[in-house]
Structure 1
Amino acid sequence: MKNIVVVGSQWGDEGKGKITDYLAQNADVVVRYQGGNNAGHTVVINNEKYALHLLPSGILNKNIKNIMANGMVINPKAFYEELSKIKNEYQLFVSDRAHIVLPAHIEMDKLNEKTDGIGTTNRGIGPAYTDKAARTGMRVSSFINKEKREQKIRQIVEQKNKILISKGKEALDIDAIISEYEKYAEYMKPFVADTSYLLNELIHDHKVLFEGAQGVMLCLDHGTYPYVTSSSPTAASVPLNTGIAPWYVKGAIGVTKAYTTRVGSGPFPSEMFDELAQYIRETGREYGTSTGRPRRIGWLDTVVINYSKRVSGLSYLAVTLLDVLSKIKELKIVVSYNLDGKEIFNVPSDYEDFLRCEPNFITLPGWDEDITQVKSFEELPLNAQKYIEKIEELTGIKVAIFSVGPDRNQTIQRFPIL
């Protein structure tokens, strides 16, 4: 496939950055198509760790064109802080139609979180998307224009200050924000382009990887609403969020952990609360890249993966963190739910119904061997091979990639994709 999407098939944190970085070695362009710095991709190259939040995962390769597309919401301060840490050569283009996250959005996020308890990262992402939908937000094109920037910042912050004051909070200093953000605007300006035009010029004779944030189960439309993000991480959202025709997307690789994790509130049928959950959390270093919050741990849930396959379209699977399951005697996989006495094979639309779902498991034998040095599927212990084959059987999707450690060279590709 020439142009493919890397999709999180669970609740995010599946290792999309690692898989994108790996596949990007054969790509020409990497496009981040939604979300903001509420995302967190950890990429490890030669034992050196890079935590990416806004930037596309191809930023560490000087030969790749990296695009931050119109579907994103961009915090200019976070953009400045993250990009200034990248020491290698890079190519980066920022959409003039992406929206800007201001300190006022962050304060509104914190305020909303106290009452709603969604479990956001408090990065201002939801309020920025709210302003976008309400047609009161600020695009990058306005942000890099001094006159428009000052006018829009004043307008947005004044409106948010009224709400903050009504809730007993201090008003934000508008002039101080205008002054500080002038530096970030000047820093961002050289990277700004009509990325839809650029991408349409490139897509015909280049290999393009589309990279989202979060996972399908956090999709605003198809996730566990209201415990979702404020955009759509699905492959279906790529054309709208990048400005290309739908038929240019040739397929999607769904990234899934060998188990399941979730950060924040909301339904999680396979969640574990015992010592084994803590063992997996510590072994897999399951703490949020953006927030440091401990992730909730559960068994692999193929109902969730099959749901992601249906609403997003998954051509292949990439199974990450397979090594974390080593030395666990028995492994469980969710194959269906019981809801009010009936067996179901789908994710309910109502999150309260989803909360009542009880998982039905199958049990597979584990393996004791250390698999962190294997270089092929055939080198895996037989039970590890059977675990991957069972995933393929239950989902009807071939596992094209699996990883046995955090480093790029611990990623094994079973057959060509890009």
Structure 2
Amino acid sequence: MDILIGLQWGDEGKGKIIDLISRDYDIIARFNGGANAGHSIYHKGKRVTLKLLPSGIFYPHIKNIIGTGVVIDALALRAEVEQLQADLSDADLIHRIILSAKAHLVLPTYRYWDMYFEESPQYRTIGTTKNGIAPTYSNKILRHNVRVGDILSNNFEADVFQILKKQHLELQALGQDIPAVQELFDNFLNACNFLKKLQITDTEIIINEALSNNKKVLAEGAQATLLDIDHGSYPYVTSSNTIASAACVGLGVSPRLVDKIYGVTKAYCTRVGNGLFPTELTGPLADELREKGGEFGSNTKRPRRVGWLDLPALKYAVMLNGVTDLVLTKADILNGMSEVPICTAYEINGNTKTLAAPSFVDDAARPVWKFFDGWDTPLNKINQQAQVPKELKLFISFLEEELKISVKYLSTGPQREEMIILGN
């Protein structure tokens, strides 16, 4: 099994690289997160954003598994499948999707809990997508939630209505605006009936049987390393484990079966929501980089915060994940700049750190910069390594030397074919 994860705060371009390499796999499996994720892929020239569906969905030969570690919003999944079916005119698409019976369901009250926690002055504002992801994982741990397999139970409707009614009363008492409980229940139940059209099973058995028969499996991560609930910039993180080892837990696969680990990083940094961002840019240059890079949320359309490449955090992410193959994206966005900075270390209270866990970097951290000559070659016009401008080659060589791994893929634009395989 191979694994692909993001090495920053998300939005690194994971969807594109998965789409590029997925044709070589038999199974693509999502292992974490929920509908708060957004993988953008250009399919037949059209930009498609996948939220819950694995990125192999466009290929008829690929089984697309939504694994046990994912939290599934039935309404969001139904809407995504139906929209994709309409866009692709592909009625067979539904047969490529397999749901883990053990994956937890996002109940319709959970997004209103998210709203309450984000908007109430009594709680810290995290900057979540308000998709109900954190309440789902919370109730999973509390053992108060329902799972996909429960849809097939005779007691499902009664159990869900009881949970919704209790939570609805609690939210009303807190002053949270929320639709009527019957409306929430009916909409949710209709979406769950749609899920019954999909294959619901013990997906860990399917994956392990495939691996034992020498089939190729790619585990697809949502969000990214620095948003990991345990190892990211807590508390401004997501609610699941996002690092490579989480794929084994989220899919039920032994670590002994892991082969390649692809790590994706931009040539600069972005993040959405609150939290420390040592290399953040502000002002006209930030606005220019954001517009040029299309740095707006795939799902929410929120403007992303932008900044220069953070090498101490990138080293930390590479270490946590055991990356074997590095993917560099969006170097084309920096085209035409006179110089390109990289933060090579932090100075913190007189100490220099070249590798740092983001949770323990505070406002006192001062970036130490190394400046590279910019490149001025339209990268989407090149298709082989020899054509890569020398300034970008030096930039890449520096990253490889510092990270002690090779850049395997260089993205030269947003389209699927705009990618160069490097022979380092």
Q: Secondary structure at the match of 2:238?
A: coil
Report the equivalent of 1:231. 240
Report the equivalent of 1:211. 220
Report the equivalent of 1:173. 180
How do 1:333-348 residues align onto structure 2 when only pairs under 5 Å count? 333-348=342-357
Q: 1:138 to 1:394 in 2, by over 3 A?
A: same
2:117 paired with 1:108 = no
2:372 paired with 1:367 = no
User: What letter corresponds to residue 11 of structure 2 in structure 1?
Assistant: D
Alignment partners' CA distance in 2, 1:398 and 1:155: 54
How far did 1:73 drift?
A: 0.3
- Determine if contact 1:109/1:126 at 8 Å carries over to the other structure: yes
How far did 1:349 drift?
A: 6.0
- Determine if contact 1:320/1:402 at 8 Å carries over to the other structure: yes
How far did 1:81 drift?
A: 0.3
Alignment partners' CA distance in 1, 2:40 and 2:55: 9
Report the equivalent of 1:280. 289
Work out which of the residue numbers 101, 104, 116 in structure 2 matches 1:99: 104
Report the equivalent of 2:148. 140
Report the equivalent of 1:291. 300
Work out which of the residue numbers 302, 306, 313 in structure 1 matches 2:311: 302
Query: For this pair of structures, how many residues does the alignment match?
Result: 412
How far did 1:228 drift?
A: 0.4
TM-score, normalised via structure 1 length: 0.95
Q: 1:415 to 1:28 in 2, by over 3 A?
A: farther
Q: Superposition RMSD on alpha carbons, in Å? A: 1.5
How far did 1:401 drift?
A: 0.5
Report the equivalent of 1:24. 22
Alignment partners' CA distance in 1, 2:187 and 2:298: 26
Alignment partners' CA distance in 2, 1:171 and 1:157: 12
Q: Secondary structure at the match of 2:84?
A: coil
- Determine if contact 2:226/2:358 at 8 Å carries over to the other structure: no
How far did 1:382 drift?
A: 0.9
How far did 1:186 drift?
A: 1.9
How do 1:8-407 residues align onto structure 2 when only pairs under 5 Å count? 8-87=6-85, 88=90, 89-90=92-93, 91-114=96-119, 115-145=123-153, 147-170=154-177, 172-191=179-198, 192-204=200-212, 205-348=214-357, 350=359, 353-407=361-415
How far did 1:174 drift?
A: 2.8
How far did 1:9 drift?
A: 0.2
Alignment partners' CA distance in 2, 1:152 and 1:19: 41
User: What letter corresponds to residue 355 of structure 1 in structure 2?
Assistant: D
Q: Could you list the runs of 4 or more consecutive aligned residues of structure 1 that deviate by over 6 angstroms after TM superposition? A: none
- Determine if contact 1:272/1:299 at 8 Å carries over to the other structure: yes
Q: Secondary structure at the match of 2:40?
A: strand
User: What letter corresponds to residue 237 of structure 2 in structure 1?
Assistant: V
Alignment partners' CA distance in 1, 2:373 and 2:335: 11
How far did 1:310 drift?
A: 1.5
Q: Deviations over 1:216-260 (max 9, x none)?
A: 000000000100000011101111111111111113111001111
How far did 1:166 drift?
A: 2.6
Q: Deviations over 1:102-159 (max 9, x none)?
A: 22000000111123210100000000000001000110011343x3321332232233
- Determine if contact 1:33/1:238 at 8 Å carries over to the other structure: yes
Alignment partners' CA distance in 2, 1:56 and 1:228: 22
How far did 1:397 drift?
A: 1.4
Q: Secondary structure at the match of 1:299?
A: strand
How far did 1:348 drift?
A: 4.1
Alignment partners' CA distance in 2, 1:338 and 1:159: 51
Q: Deviations over 1:182-234 (max 9, x none)?
A: 32122111321211111111122111111011110000000001000000111
User: What letter corresponds to residue 415 of structure 2 in structure 1?
Assistant: D
Which structure 2 segments of 5+ residues have no match?
Answer: none
- Determine if contact 1:94/1:195 at 8 Å carries over to the other structure: yes
User: What letter corresponds to residue 324 of structure 1 in structure 2?
Assistant: I
User: What letter corresponds to residue 51 of structure 1 in structure 2?
Assistant: T
Name whichever of 253-262 and 269-278 sits farther off: 269-278
- Determine if contact 1:31/1:69 at 8 Å carries over to the other structure: yes
Q: 1:194 to 1:28 in 2, by over 3 A?
A: same
User: What letter corresponds to residue 254 of structure 1 in structure 2?
Assistant: G
- Determine if contact 1:144/1:186 at 8 Å carries over to the other structure: no
- Determine if contact 1:220/1:229 at 8 Å carries over to the other structure: yes
Alignment partners' CA distance in 2, 1:179 and 1:111: 23
How far did 1:164 drift?
A: 1.1
- Determine if contact 2:231/2:357 at 8 Å carries over to the other structure: no
- Determine if contact 2:313/2:357 at 8 Å carries over to the other structure: no
